[in-house]
Amino acid sequence: MELQERLNDVRSRIAAGERAAGRPAGSVQLVAVSKTFEADAIGPAIEAGQRVFGENRVQESQGKWPALKAERPDIELHLIGPLQSNKAADAVALFDVIETVDREKIARALADEMKRQGKTPRLYVQVNTGLEPQKAGIAPDDTPAFVALCRDELGLSIEGLMCIPPAEENPGPHFALLAKLALKCGVGKLSMGMSGDYGTAIAFGATSVRVGSAIFGTR
């Protein structure tokens, strides 16, 4: 299939998932994950009406997105990969949403940069639902206290939670855990689900799904 066909297929599946879960049409946002793809590969998705994109690396994003966003000011760019504190200034300058706030050092760096730049990208806390040592994220039991720290001490508005379940496990329990934590923390957004499991994520309450290979093809 051509990219536009793949994109339309994903949109149709999201709509079907919303209906199956008894959720309103349009309640799940599609974040098209364009990491590793150049601007000319992203162009057809923009032409097909996609406006929300996800990237993993700040430096890679700086090479392609400023020009694309200048052409299409309504594009919304999400950082969905790990953020180093020395890239906080660049992340605040470029991204509309930062989904990977995963430790106090990053939260403090973002708070400082947001005040300095006068910009307020929307923020998500990344939760390591599988307690995987090689993966970033706050432990589930520590998430409420971390969200409170971000809000009360650093003055950050946390919009939602994000997770990446262990690849070899059933994602459903991880999505259920994230939804439970969101209620406990008083946040309304859940970024969960990727190309292989976004249908399951919608059933468990995802408000955004991060889909790359099902749209752009294999990397």
**DSSP H/E element including 104:** helix 104-117
CATH 3.30.420.40 applies to domain 1-214? no
Task: Dump pLDDT digits (tens) for 102-149.
Answer: 999 999 999 999 999 999 999 999 999 999 999 999 999 999 999 999
DSSP 168-194: TS-HHHHHHHHHHHHHHHT--EEE---
Task: Dump pLDDT digits (tens) for 45-76.
Answer: 999 999 999 999 999 999 999 999 999 999 99
Residue whose tokens read 């470029």: 94
Query: What is the amino acid identity at position 22?
Result: G
Residue 219: predicted pLDDT: 72
Tokens matching residue 44: 């057809």
Cα torsion 93, 189, 72, 82: sign: positive
Residue 25: predicted pLDDT: 96
Task: Dump pLDDT digits (tens) for 143-178.
Answer: 999 999 999 999 999 999 999 999 999 999 999 999
For the full predicted model, state whether its pTM sits above 0.75. yes
Residue 46: predicted pLDDT: 96
Helix 39-47 and helix 3-20: axis angle, to 10°?
A: 50
Mean per-residue pLDDT of the chain: 96
Q: Predicted confidence band at 218 (pLDDT cuts at 50, 70, 90)?
A: confident
Domain ranges of the chain: 1-214
- Find the mean pLDDT for residues 181-195: 97
By C-alpha distance, which of 162, 194, 201 is closest to 181?
A: 162
